[in-house]
């Protein structure tokens, strides 16, 4: 495993474990999964050197935090547990109350990394951050982070907190490389951390799906899997497949390895099984040549997906195709 040293956190595994699916029925994970597979996944993650575990109060309406806290057991205080507060009425008293509720569910006295889940479009960070500052001063959280913040708002959050906001968790992958432009250089320069969520673009970068093999379930409404985007992404997938063949790996592993080749970036793919976890963690051992990194970056920048919801025609084609 590779690690990133970040002020206020210590060594953070470059591959973490996203636990948004723990307790989330829309992804098919029920009570039996929580008591069995989830614990096995967390246990194996620790054995493989994973130290970053990401959750949030809204994942499964608190179930993810409870499942993760129980699964970590006595090791829960030895790893970097990152949780998030959803910024509804994010006034200091509310933020502190919600942080303490998350800590109880996680069975922690200190949450190592506590993040604002998304920017509040109405309430500025000058109002939100004093709550996190008091939590920091009282030792109830170890460090403050944000999620889906622009660089401009990240800087404003810094100023409002009065100390570094050490991380920004953003949608980041070869299919969504925009953080390369400003967030990654800022993180490298200031010794911060960019946490890449959805690093495999919900499986798009695994090369499994295409025009004749569209996904069902939750993925079916993701515009990335629409007809036009599945056509547009093929050049990127071709480069992924070629690099994967060159390094004797799978395309999804190369997609993760590309993120880890960037400075101050960690990735938090989810895992529905121990096998999937092991597959993801193995990506940390892949060394990409400078030529491969450049080829992947160029292909990522050349991919311009169309936005918006998938068309009714796409959804009808999916329905007919699955009969």
Contact 50, 91 (CB under 8 A): no
Phi, psi of 98 (to 5 degrees): -70, -35
Question: Residue 210 in 3-state DSSP?
Answer: strand
74 Rama class: left (phi>0) / alpha (psi -120 to 50) / beta: alpha
- Report the C-alpha gap between 100 and 255 in whole angstroms: 36
Going by C-beta distance under 8 Å and a sequence separation of 6 or more, which residues neighbour residue 28?
217
If you write DSSP's letter for every residue of 70-129 in order, what string do you get? HHHGGGGGSSEEEEEE--SS--HHHHHHHHHHHHHHHT-SSBSEEEE-S--SSS-HHHHH
Nearest partner of 315 among 231, 217, 204, 208, judged by Cα? 217
- Number of other residues whose CB lies within 10 A of the CB of residue 83: 30
CB neighbour burial string for 126-140, b if at least 16 within 10 angstroms, e if fewer: ebbbbbbbbbbeeeb
Q: Catalytic amino acids? A: 59
Query: Nearest 5 degrees, angle CA 201-CA 202-CA 207?
Result: 75
- Report the C-alpha gap between 190 and 274 in whole angstroms: 35
Residue labelled with tokens 């960690």:
266
- Number of other residues whose CB lies within 10 A of the CB of residue 91: 14
């Amino acid at each position: 495993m590779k690690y990133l040293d970040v002020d206020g956190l210590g060594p953070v595994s470059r591959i973490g474990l996203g636990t948004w699916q723990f307790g989330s029925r829309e992804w098919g994970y029920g009570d039996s999964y929580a008591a069995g597979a989830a614990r096995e996944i967390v246990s194996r993650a620790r054995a493989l050197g994973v130290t970053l575990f990401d959750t949030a109060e809204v994942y499964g309406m608190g179930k993810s935090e409870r499942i993760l806290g129980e699964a970590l057991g006595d090791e829960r205080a030895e790893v970097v547990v990152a949780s998030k507060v959803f910024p509804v009425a994010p006034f200091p008293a509310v933020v502190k109350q919600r942080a303490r509720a998350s800590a109880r569910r996680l069975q922690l006295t200190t949450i190592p990394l506590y993040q604002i889940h998304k920017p509040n479009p109405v309430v500025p960070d000058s109002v939100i951050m004093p709550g996190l500052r008091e939590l920091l001063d009282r030792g109830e959280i170890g460090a403050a982070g944000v999620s889906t913040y622009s660089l401009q708002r990240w800087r404003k959050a810094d100023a409002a907190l009065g100390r570094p906001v050490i991380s920004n968790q953003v949608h980041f992958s070869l299919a969504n490389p925009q953080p390369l432009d400003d967030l990654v250089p800022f993180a490298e320069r200031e010794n911060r951390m960019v946490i890449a969520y959805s690093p495999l673009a919900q499986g798009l970068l695994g090369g499994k799906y295409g025009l004749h093999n569209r996904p069902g379930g939750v993925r079916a409404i993701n515009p990335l899997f629409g007809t036009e985007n599945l056509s547009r992404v093929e050049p990127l997938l071709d480069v992924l497949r070629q690099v994967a063949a060159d390094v004797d790996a799978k395309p999804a592993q190369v997609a993760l390895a590309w993120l880890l080749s960037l400075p101050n970036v960690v990735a938090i793919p989810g895992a529905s099984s121990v096998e999937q976890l092991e597959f993801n963690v193995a990506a940390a051992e892949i060394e990409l040549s400078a030529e491969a990194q450049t080829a992947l970056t160029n292909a990522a920048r050349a991919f311009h997906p169309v936005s918006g919801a998938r068309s009714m025609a796409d959804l009808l084609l999916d329905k007919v195709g699955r009969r």
